[in-house]
Structure 1
Amino acid sequence: MESPNSPDHVVELVPCIAPSSISSGVSDEITPLLTEPRPAPPPEQQQQQQQRPKINIFTLPYPRRRPRFSFDLHSLNLQEQMIKLPETEISLFTQFISWAWGGSRHSGLLCMAMSSSIYWSMGALSDIFSAQSIPLFETAFTRCTIILILSYLWLRRSGQSMWPTQARNLLVARALMGFTSLLGFIYCLLSLPLSQAIVLSFTTPIVASIFARFILHEKLKIAEIGGLASSFFGVLFIFQQVLTTQGGLAKAGERSSLYVTGSHHIYAILIGLFSLITGGISYCLIRAAAKATDQPVITVFSFGTLDTPAAAICTTTFQEFVLPSFYSFMLMVVLGALAFLAEVLLARALQLEKTSRVANVQYLEAALSQLWGIASLRMAPSFGRLVGCLLILISVCCTMLLGPEKEVE
């Protein structure tokens, strides 16, 4: 109550004597705003309502649109998943590449398996997209040039030194041995039947494992020797019919324009043996240089630096230059880029893993080539081919599953 004589306004709070009556009055005023007036419920129902919790303005049941809103969110989530699906696939591919390259327990063997698969795909592309006949030295010059350009761009972008001082001698020796092996292999392709040249080339992994024992001081275990022997016997099974049949030799020699017999044939085989020896030493030098520089692409760049001008000299000296068509030139560029990837993966595999294990996985190329020939109906499935492929696949799988333990340095 406010007294009239007081100078200030004073408010006096008077306690409510009959709260039930006031609340009933207030409820009568608010009720028409919320609901229509209803008859008074019976006494029993009033008691039940008094026991229930009262509802105030903050607990009024507002209309909910949650189902519609959740459906919109669900549709938005689906759209985001559909948009991010290609990104997920790309990330999975990049994760696999980084895992295979990054030095994990299986990285070296996986890099060698990918390198062999790329070499096989190069042969498959050459069979599918047949182009005009290009001399071998000219083909080697084109591939060496592409390898040189791509390796230079790789090193330039990564900021690596082209010729590091701690491994300069190893890189020069690797380039010399690599080009000598390539030159001898080209001569074998021109002078020997194709089957004999291929068998000689697949002897290089065994020679590399033997030289790694003396140059790199790597120990050869019985399981590794057994794996190499099984893979090489698989190659012999694959080419058994061609090597033991005169008609097969003549058929294989149709692709050779300088096919020789007698003493010249023995001379060509000796050059092939020298080629595989230098190729085996080149593998050891690749491993040593890649571990010394911690960059496998440097070994590929050193190979391209020396071999590109040398292949150009051989092209102009020993064979006539053939101007390729645009289709043939593009095919040569694609094959050169694939050769660069295969060489980089090979160097990375030798950097991470023992030479004998990496060399055994290299035989995967022979098995894939034969299986591709059988699948494309270019070759008839024979017992020797199937047994040879089975031996190689079993040997490679055992090496991949049982062999990738790291060496203690």
Structure 2
Amino acid sequence: MIVACFCFAIMGVFVKLGSAQFSAAELVFYRCVAGFIAISMVVLPQGKTFKVSGPMFKLHLSRSVSGFVSLLLYFYAIAHLPLSTAVTLSYTSPLFLTLLMVLFLKHKPQRKQVVTIVLGFVGVLILLKPTFESSLWMAGLIGLFAGFLASIAYINVNKLGQAGEPEWRTVFYFSLFSSLGAAILMLLQSQPLAPLNQSNIWIVLGLGVSATIAQLSMTRAYSRGKTLAVASLAYLTVLFATLFAVFLWDEKLGVSSFIAMSLIAGCGILSSARGIKKQ
């Protein structure tokens, strides 16, 4: 998961760089088609089967749909918000994950866990406050919703792992569905497609490579580890992304932003730790 976090932060850097030339749909397409090609090149020569049963297909479909929409919203947020803010909002997924486990998996939360979840979302409100006071409020809400959808995707990844589905097949179907979905959106978008040339091809390649490595690493972490434990480590992406933003774009965060990010990360980890004790 640490490898995944580092590569996801690098992916965020390439998305930020590419957003000046490409739409969110184009960036999602290049990110996912790279994963699809990489997985196919490794799997096809081995003669592995892509067939899955009906119940497994439903899980793959749910994981792919939620993951695709989450990724699309996440890339939009990165393009319109400071990198550290967009990443932090997306990684509210552990907080949403805990809520979903309580609501749908019938896990009874402890009182302290409820408090940490509430404080975590207080951190979200503090972090979103500057966006609500500007024209960026929609981007802030979109980034937050990306975190919610990511939590649904992670639950499905964990269920697929528990059912014995290999990591490569989970990544394959997600990459295939997302590539097709992004391609359709690219055809429907009003703005013309940005041509690939020597000045931007390195962005596309960097985006594809970093995202593929991150996706494979994250999928293995969620399928082999305890969901909430792995989810808590996801906050390392916030740290890596913040460091990249400071060094590459000289992004400066106010005291309130640091307090909000600390609340979100700390409460997410605490709620995860208490959830692990109940598993």
Interval of TM-score (by shorter of Structure 1 and Structure 2): 0.7 to 0.9
Q: 2:131 aligns with which of 243, 250, 262?
A: 243
Distance (whole Å) between structure 1 residues aligned to residue 71 and residue 15 of structure 2: 19
Distance (whole Å) between structure 2 residues aligned to residue 130 and residue 178 of structure 1: 21
CA drift at 1:131 = 8.9
Q: Which structure has the larger Rg?
A: 1
> Does the 8 A contact of 2:78 with 2:86 survive in 1?
yes
C-alpha change, 1:231 and 1:160, in structure 2 (3 Å) is farther
Q: 1:287 aligns with which of 144, 151, 158?
A: 158
Q: Counterpart of 1:146?
A: 34
C-alpha change, 1:183 and 1:373, in structure 2 (3 Å) is closer
Q: 2:242 aligns with which of 370, 373, 389?
A: 370
For these two proteins, the number of residue pairs brought into alignment is: 275
> Does the 8 A contact of 1:215 with 1:284 survive in 2?
no
> Where is the helix percentage greater, Structure 1 or Structure 2?
2
Distance (whole Å) between structure 2 residues aligned to residue 224 and residue 118 of structure 1: 30
Distance (whole Å) between structure 2 residues aligned to residue 356 and residue 382 of structure 1: 30
Q: Which runs of 5+ in 1 are unaligned?
A: 1-110, 254-260
Alignment of 1:294-373 (within 5 A): 294-318=165-189, 319-373=191-245
C-alpha change, 1:337 and 1:218, in structure 2 (3 Å) is farther
**How large is the Cα RMSD of the aligned pairs?**
4.0
Q: Counterpart of 2:22?
A: 134
C-alpha change, 1:219 and 1:151, in structure 2 (3 Å) is farther
Runs of 4+ more than 4 Å apart = 129-132, 183-190, 195-200, 214-237, 271-277, 388-400, 402-408
Q: Aligned to 1:283, what secondary structure does the other structure show?
A: helix
Q: Aligned to 1:326, what secondary structure does the other structure show?
A: coil
The amino acid across from 2:131 in the alignment is L
C-alpha change, 1:339 and 1:169, in structure 2 (3 Å) is same
Alignment of 1:15-26 (within 5 A): none
Q: 2:81 aligns with which of 189, 194, 197?
A: 194
Alignment of 1:76-225 (within 5 A): 111=1, 113-124=2-13, 133-156=21-44, 160-165=48-53, 167-185=56-74, 194=81, 200-216=89-105, 220=109
> Does the 8 A contact of 1:209 with 1:359 survive in 2?
no
Q: Can you list the C-alpha shifts for 1:23-52, whole angstroms capped at 9, x where unaligned?
A: xxxxxxxxxxxxxxxxxxxxxxxxxxxxxx
Distance (whole Å) between structure 1 residues aligned to residue 40 and residue 113 of structure 2: 36
C-alpha change, 1:220 and 1:339, in structure 2 (3 Å) is farther
C-alpha change, 1:206 and 1:243, in structure 2 (3 Å) is same
> Does the 8 A contact of 1:148 with 1:305 survive in 2?
yes
Distance (whole Å) between structure 1 residues aligned to residue 255 and residue 116 of structure 2: 21
> Does the 8 A contact of 1:234 with 1:387 survive in 2?
yes
- Give the structure-2-normalised TM-score: 0.75
Distance (whole Å) between structure 1 residues aligned to residue 256 and residue 75 of structure 2: 27
> Does the 8 A contact of 1:370 with 1:385 survive in 2?
no
Alignment of 1:57-72 (within 5 A): none
Distance (whole Å) between structure 2 residues aligned to residue 157 and residue 229 of structure 1: 50
C-alpha change, 1:398 and 1:186, in structure 2 (3 Å) is closer
Distance (whole Å) between structure 1 residues aligned to residue 77 and residue 257 of structure 2: 23
> Does the 8 A contact of 1:174 with 1:303 survive in 2?
yes
Distance (whole Å) between structure 1 residues aligned to residue 11 and residue 148 of structure 2: 25
Q: Aligned to 2:252, what secondary structure does the other structure show?
A: coil
CA drift at 1:301 = 0.7
Q: Which runs of 5+ in 2 are unaligned?
A: none
CA drift at 1:232 = 5.4
> Does the 8 A contact of 1:155 with 1:298 survive in 2?
no
The amino acid across from 1:162 in the alignment is F
Q: Can you list the C-alpha shifts for 1:348-389, whole angstroms capped at 9, x where unaligned?
A: 222133333333322222233224434557123642344445
CA drift at 1:286 = 1.4
- Give the structure-1-normalised TM-score: 0.54
